[in-house]
Chain A
């Protein structure tokens, strides 16, 4: 009996020692994995302020947010009307224009300039660029077309262009992120 207890105690210590080595291994993995995520300077640079005072109705600009383009678009009344005419339930990613803009600032459509299909930059923000058959944005990589509320209407993209977090810090300045 005593013998058996001794054996069990010994086994326990060996198992404990191997487990400690395992814990150490897991402990080492934590910094190894975490060092690859965004560093402090990258995170700190993840908000951006855009001056929108010079954007006329019908125009759009490309700003940079998190090293990616953001489209800031001043919609014309016709474009707003066009967007509101659509039956939301028929959309692939049902959202109204109002849900995609700030109250009282429905003419300011601010979206990421990153196609939700595979990440190309859609056309339509620059002067004279192809806006696609729905008058919003058109991605030349695989032919996704977005409407005037930057909602996906045709082509392979699964989602509407993403609306980033943003706020109007004044009537002419938008802080994105």
Chain B
């Protein structure tokens, strides 16, 4: 498509020819994930995670549809219907565990996918739109996962719903009415459970839609690659089929192996025991935490313990928590470096490995720990670095750092030489 040397779809069978004239769907597939899509030949395994994310989304939708067949969104029976699914429905336990752990797997994959983007500058021009759509997908995923966790109507479901909708109560003036509107009442109850179920079923299909846009936008400039040098000639690329189908294929196998190990042998280790207690609006569990994939943002929320001038601490926390993700939308314009890949940006690379990654690790850890010292202080320092990294360090470093010399082309990076380089004018 975008590259002149891309293979053209040539239907051989008369039926496929007929089809191509009426509805060129096979052509679309061929040009998107087939032999017609030229991809940089030097992608490393971090580039498999986009495909894996698609697999995760599929797992979640398929297992989710099954769960919905046996679920009833009513506070009186929701918990029991899940137990019924697990105990009495044929293979019900498998679908329940696959769906619950599938959410975790999806977030593992998506975090690696996002941090691949941070390191290799995948968000930079010309792929800003791919990145923006990706952040939208991440936000939709978080909303979907949150509402899904409410559905079993266990203790964590209930108190999670209460606490998270309580965040909206922090917004000045409209906070309290907004919270009541979200819940359809004063506390989570049937109204909330029913709308969460409805939206939990709807949003994944919205995600599918945005994923289509995400992939569409990706196919305009084509995939990025670990050097960050754009594709120049045919020798820089290989067709997606069979090369990357084979690579993604075996990666799916490895992923499925790890996923199955979790589902069949450690199905509850990422969950919280309290969610096996039916919701009780009269008693809060001793230690409430969201699911692990929300921990960094939960830690940021709790890091603001003091009113800041006339902004109450609670509002500060909410602003920061949402801000921590919203800041990703601005990355393409905050990063001024002419070079994409972190491999050729010595200073940025140090901040990435010795700043951002440890800060995220601390936030992950502290978000799951009790809201007590010293965890709060640790998360304050980590959150401080997190905001400084994206809003202060990245704009300054990207403007002043001197990048390492880039290879002339992907071919040169791979083969050590590129015949085209000698013909090209020296940069």
Direct touch of chains A and B (CB < 8 A):
yes
Residues in chain A within 8 A of chain B (CB atoms) = 17, 21, 24, 31-32, 34-37, 39-42
**CB of B367 within 8 Å of the partner chain:** no
List A contacts of B95 (CB < 8 A). 31, 35
Which candidate, B2-10, B26-34, B82-90, B108-116, is the interface stretch facing chain A? B82-90
The reply to whether B249 and A35 form a contact with Cβ atoms under 8 Å apart is no
Q: Which residues of A contact B250 (CB under 8 A)?
A: 17
Contact check, B89 vs A35: say whether CB atoms are below 8 A apart: yes
B88 A39 Cβ-Cβ under 8 A: yes
Bound: A49/B256 CA distance, A:
48
A37 adjacent to B90 (CB under 8 Å): yes
Interchain CA distance A76-B95 in the complex, whole Å: 54
Q: How far is the CB of A27 from chain B (nearest CB, A)?
A: 11
The answer to whether residues A39 and B84 also contact, given A17-B249, A32-B66 and a CB cut-off of 8 A, is yes
Contact pick for A31, options B69, B70, B87, B94, CB 8 Å: B94
A residues less than 8 Å from B91 (CB atoms):
31, 34-35
In the bound complex, residues from chain A placing their C-beta under 8 Å from that of B89 are: 35, 39-40
What are 18 contact pairs spanning A and B, CB under 8 A? A17-B249, A31-B90, A31-B91, A31-B94, A31-B95, A32-B62, A32-B66, A35-B66, A35-B69, A35-B70, A35-B91, A35-B92, A37-B90, A39-B70, A39-B88, A39-B92, A40-B90, A41-B88
Interface residues of B in 382-407 (CB under 8 A from A): none
Residue of B nearest to A44 (CB): B88
Distance in angstroms from A17 CB to nearest chain B CB is 7
Residues in B neighbouring A31, C-beta threshold 8 A: 90-91, 94-95
Prevailing SS type, chain B contact patch: helix
Give the interface size bracket for B toward A. 10 to 19
Q: How far is the CA of A40 from the CA of B88 in the complex (A)?
A: 5
- Which residue of A has the minimal Cβ distance to B62? A32
CA of A36 to CA of B68, assembled, Å: 12
Closest residue to A43 on the B side, CB-wise? B88
Q: Can you name the residue of chain A whose Cβ is closest to the Cβ of B66?
A: A35
A37–B62 Cα gap in the complex (Å)? 17
B249 touches A36 (CB 8 A): no
Chain A: CB-nearest residue to B59:
A28
Complex alpha-carbon distance, A40 and B87, angstroms: 8
Q: Please name all residues of chain A whose beta carbon is closer than 8 Å to the beta carbon of B70 when the two chains form the complex.
A: 35, 39
List 20 extra interface pairs beyond A31-B90, A41-B84, CB under 8 A: A21-B249, A24-B256, A31-B91, A31-B95, A32-B62, A34-B91, A35-B70, A35-B89, A35-B90, A35-B95, A36-B69, A37-B90, A39-B70, A39-B84, A39-B88, A39-B89, A39-B90, A40-B88, A40-B90, A41-B88
Which residues on the B side are within 8 Å of A34 (C-beta)?
90-91
Taking CB atoms and an 8 Å cut-off, the chain B residues in 69-103 that contact chain A are 69-70, 84, 87-92, 94-95
Tell me the bound Cα distance from A24 to B256 in angstroms: 11
Closest to A36 in B: B69
A21 to B87, CA, bound (A): 30
Contacts of A42 in B (CB 8 A): 88
**Which residues of chain A are near B88, meaning CB under 8 Å?**
39-42
Complex-state Cα separation, A17 to B70, whole angstroms: 35
Q: Give chain A residues whose Cβ lies under 8 Å from the Cβ of B94.
A: 31
- Which residue on chain B has the smallest CB distance to residue A30? B91
Chain B hits for A41, CB < 8 A: 84, 88
Which B residues lie within 8 Å of A36 (CB)? 69
- Specify which chain B residues have a CB less than 8 angstroms from the CB of A37 in the assembled complex: 90
